[in-house]
């Protein structure tokens, strides 16, 4: 599909989505000044967007004067969308067993507006050092969970557009990571502060629906992707996929 054939974007809709995407666990409320600074808008334009979103029910006044929070319609739509994610109902026992067996924190993520979002966390509290992540965290595109989503996402045109704005070396690393997921069924990412994550895709009858990941420190979780934790993760992902009515990989028996 050529650039001329790309679906036309309505700027106001795209801008509204960018404003709504600013909300996060550590940003429960925003101000027009904050939105303007993050999105490169002037304050009056950001204020008009916020008031228009509030009139539509997507935002409401926050607790602090001059702030905005997610509105009732946004919460209603979110609850409906989550209700359709059967994986959130089926995953907890699989995750608890995986956390107990691997002695690692187990994370379930769904695809958000532009990357994975953490929806459930199971922690193993028997370790002296506990590595965890908050529910609602937006994970970066170079995370292990993102690699699994990008490898099997049903809209590869969207994936290409999402990656097109990244620096070339970063884009090539992310694409290489997605290729490895297709080959091995799992992915590994190591942060600069020594946190290791191993991710694996979960499928339903329509394709990838979630990712499971184990996270730990680099001295408790092998970054070489060849330890027993990886085997337990893949087994859990396959089991959850089977319960979801999916097939783990096209060549997987």
H helices present in the chain, as ranges:
11-20, 32-39, 43-55, 72-83, 87-102, 144-152, 156-164, 168-184, 228-244
Closest CA to 202 of 234, 157, 158: 234
Residue 3 predicted with pLDDT over 90: no
Alpha carbon distance 81, 71 (integer Å): 15
| Percent helix, strand and coil across the chain, each to the nearest 5 | 45, 20, 35
Name the residue with tokens 């008031």.
51
H helices present in 185-247, as ranges:
228-244
Closest CA to 211 of 132, 116, 76, 141: 116
CB count in 10 Å sphere of residue 52: 14
Q: Read off the pLDDT of residues 10-63 as tens digits, 9 standing for 90 and up.
A: 888 989 999 998 998 889 999 999 999 999 999 999 999 999 999 999 999 999
Return the axis-axis angle of helices 11-20 and 43-55, rounded to nearest 10°.
Answer: 90
Contacts of 215 (CB under 8 A, 6+ apart): 104, 105, 107, 131, 132, 133, 195, 196, 197, 221
Q: Read off the pLDDT of residues 212-233 as tens digits, 9 standing for 90 and up.
A: 999 999 888 887 757 899 999 9
Residue 5 predicted with pLDDT over 80: no
Could you give the angle at the alpha carbon of 237 between the alpha carbons of 112 and 85, nearest 5°?
40
Domains and CATH numbers, the chain: 3-80 (1.10.10.10), 85-244 (3.30.450.40)
Could you give the angle at the alpha carbon of 201 between the alpha carbons of 199 and 206, nearest 5°?
165
What's the alpha-carbon Rg for the chain, to the nearest Å? 19
Give CA separation, 221 vs 26, 143, 189, 217, 224, in Å: 27, 16, 11, 6, 9
Contacts of 33 (CB under 8 A, 6+ apart): 43, 46
The pLDDT value recorded for residue 84 is 65
Provide the b/e sequence for 95-119 (b: ≥16 CB within 10 Å).
Answer: bebbbebbebbbbbbbbeeebbbbb
Q: Which of the 8 DSSP states describes residue 4? A: G
Q: What is the pTM of this model?
A: 0.74
The pLDDT value recorded for residue 83 is 60
The residue-averaged pLDDT of 151-165 equals: 90
Name the residue with tokens 């992540």.
133
| SS3 category, 63 | coil
Q: Which of the 8 DSSP states describes residue 197? A: E
């Amino acid at each position: 599909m050529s650039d001329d054939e790309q679906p036309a974007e309505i700027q106001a809709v795209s801008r509204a989505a960018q404003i709504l995407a600013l909300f996060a666990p550590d940003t429960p409320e925003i101000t027009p000044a904050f939105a303007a600074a993050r999105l490169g808008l002037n304050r009056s334009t950001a204020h008009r967007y916020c008031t228009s979103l509030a009139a539509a029910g997507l935002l409401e006044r926050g607790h602090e004067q001059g702030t905005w929070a997610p509105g009732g319609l946004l919460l209603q739509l979110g609850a409906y969308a989550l209700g359709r994610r059967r994986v959130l109902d089926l995953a907890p026992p699989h995750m608890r067993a995986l956390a107990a067996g691997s002695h690692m924190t187990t994370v379930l993520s769904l695809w958000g507006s532009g990357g994975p979002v953490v929806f459930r966390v199971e922690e193993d509290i028997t370790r002296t050092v506990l590595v965890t992540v908050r529910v609602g965290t937006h994970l970066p595109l170079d995370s292990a969970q993102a690699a699994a989503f990008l490898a099997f996402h049903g809209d590869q045109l969207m994936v290409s557009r999402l990656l097109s704005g990244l620096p070339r070396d970063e884009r090539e690393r992310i694409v290489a990571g997605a290729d490895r997921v297709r080959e091995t069924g799992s992915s590994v990412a190591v942060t600069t502060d020594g946190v290791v994550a191993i991710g694996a895709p979960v499928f339903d009858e329509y394709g990838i629906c979630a990712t499971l990941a184990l996270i730990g420190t680099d001295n408790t979780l092998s970054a070489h992707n060849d330890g027993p934790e990886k085997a337990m993760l893949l087994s859990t992902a396959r089991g959850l996929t089977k319960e979801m009515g999916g097939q783990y990989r096209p060549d997987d028996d």
